[in-house]
Amino acid sequence: MSVLGLDVAKESFHAALLQGDRIARKAFPNNARGYEQLDAWLRNRDVECVHACLEATGGWSEALALHLHTGGHTVSIVNPHRIRAFGQSEGLRAKTDAADAALIARYCAVHAPEPWTPARPEVRALQALSRRRGALIEMRTQETNRLSGPETNESVRSSVAAHVSYLDAQIAEIEREIDDTINKDPTLRNQRDLLETIPGIAHRTATSITAEMPNLAEFHSGKSVAAHAGLSPIIEQSGTSLARSRLSRTGNARLRHSLYFPAIVAMKFNPAIRAFAGRLRARQKRPMVVIAAAMRKLLVLAYGVVKSGRPFDPSLTS
């Protein structure tokens, strides 16, 4: 099978087609017309089915991936860190869009990454709404901070306050649409309701987890769930130096962000996580290490509840 590497940006994307020892390159606009041009370019090279590989860069890459998947091609979406490490192993020095597309194609040919399956339309709609809510909340936080700025006069305060009110209304409307989307889907509704039984996970966090991990019950283990969120520890040790651990941070950043404050709440009100955090503090772990571990523990608890289909039971979390 031919291999297609794609380096995707907002306005355009670069393609590198590997056919045996031959490579063809071309740039296209990142829109519907560009997708049609890509289809014609592949047909002109007698390519009926290709293994396309893209980096996970959010909506700009997912739209192209969905188009290729709908067209019958095999599509893989790969963590950019893996592509970067592969380039380092080759000693690659060039850093251009065309070179990156060729690098992605070579990675795909060597490693044959697993095929990507797009989420159901309902799930894609939920993810879009949830991510829009996150953006609006971030904007509201920025505007609220401006209200207490040292140089804010009355006219500016009035403008900022009006914008905050507008953002509040927009957030409320988005949250109603999120609830409607989840309530119409029995699988999503059941997952959200189970998550809300866990102390520390309130309604907004439950909907965020459901949006980012709608297939939570399909993971094989708690470790794989933590790895998906970038909450798995990485041990660093060289020679006789002391071993240090840090979070991998190569997973879903939105999921990590949504778990930070719930983990802090859970350390107070969730008996399992409160005891877990207490043991870490007794071992003199740093506060941020304790919070990160609590985030991981909270997500693993969420996985256990959804996987079992049973509400949270503190007696079963020892």
Q: Is the pLDDT of residue 150 over 80?
A: no
Residue 71, number of CB atoms within 10 A of its CB? 15
pLDDT classification of 196: cutoffs 50, 70, 90:
very high
Residue type, 145: N
Q: Which residues pair with 175 in a beta bridge?
A: none
Give yes or no for residue 238 having a pLDDT over 60.
Answer: no
pLDDT > 90: percent of the chain: 75
Let me know if domain 2-111 sits in CATH 3.30.420.40.
Answer: yes
Binning pLDDT at 50, 70 and 90, where does residue 92 land? Answer: confident
Range 234-242 average pLDDT: 52
Residue with tokens 């920025």: 142
Q: Check residue 239 and give its pLDDT.
A: 54
For residues 253 and 234, the model is more confident at 253
What's the pLDDT score for residue 173? 98
Beta-carbon contacts of 237 under 8 Å, excluding residues fewer than 6 positions away, are 243, 244
pLDDT for 287 beyond 90: yes
pLDDT of residue 236 exceeding 70: no
pLDDT over 80 at 240, yes or no: no
- pLDDT at residue 204 tops 90: yes
Whether pLDDT at 175 is above 90: yes
Amino acid (one-letter) located at 295: M
233 or 255, greater pLDDT: 255
pLDDT of residue 58: 67
Instruction: Provide the pLDDT for residue 235.
Output: 54
Check residue 262 and give its pLDDT.
97
- pLDDT score for 109: 95
One-letter amino acid at 111 equals H
Residue 132 clears pLDDT 80, i.e. is over it: yes
Please tell me the least confidently modeled range out of 136-150, 162-176, 196-210, 266-280. 136-150
Please indicate whether residue 242 or residue 250 has the higher confidence score (pLDDT): 250
Contact (CB, 8 A) for 72 and 65: no
3-state SS, the chain, equals CEEEEEEECCCEEEEEEEECCEEEEEEEECCHHHHHHHHHHHHHCCCCCEEEEEECCCHHHHHHHHHHHHCCCEEEEECHHHHHHHHHHCCCCCCCHHHHHHHHHHHHHHHCCCCCCCCCHHHHHHHHHHHHHHHHHHHHHHHHHHHCCCCCCHHHHHHHHHHHHHHHHHHHHHHHHHHHHHHCCHHHHHHHHHHCCCCCCCHHHHHHHHHHCCCHHHCCCHHHHHHHCCCCEEEECCCCCCCEEEECCCCCHHHHHHHHHHHHHHHHHCHHHHHHHHHHHHCCCCHHHHHHHHHHHHHHHHHHHHHHCCCCCHHHCC
pLDDT tens-place string over residues 14-67: 999 999 889 999 999 999 999 999 999 999 999 999 999 999 876 778 899 999
Answer whether residue 153 shows pLDDT above 60. Answer: yes
Note the pLDDT of residue 95: 80
Q: What is the mean pLDDT of the chain?
A: 90
Q: Are 61 and 8 in contact (CB under 8 A)?
A: yes
Domain ranges in the chain are 2-111, 120-184, 186-318
Q: How far apart are alpha carbons 238 and 43 in whole angstroms?
A: 51
pLDDT of residue 38: 97
Work out the average pLDDT over 150-171.
Answer: 89
Residue 268 tokens, joined: 């107070």
Separation of alpha carbons 18 and 311, rounded Å = 50
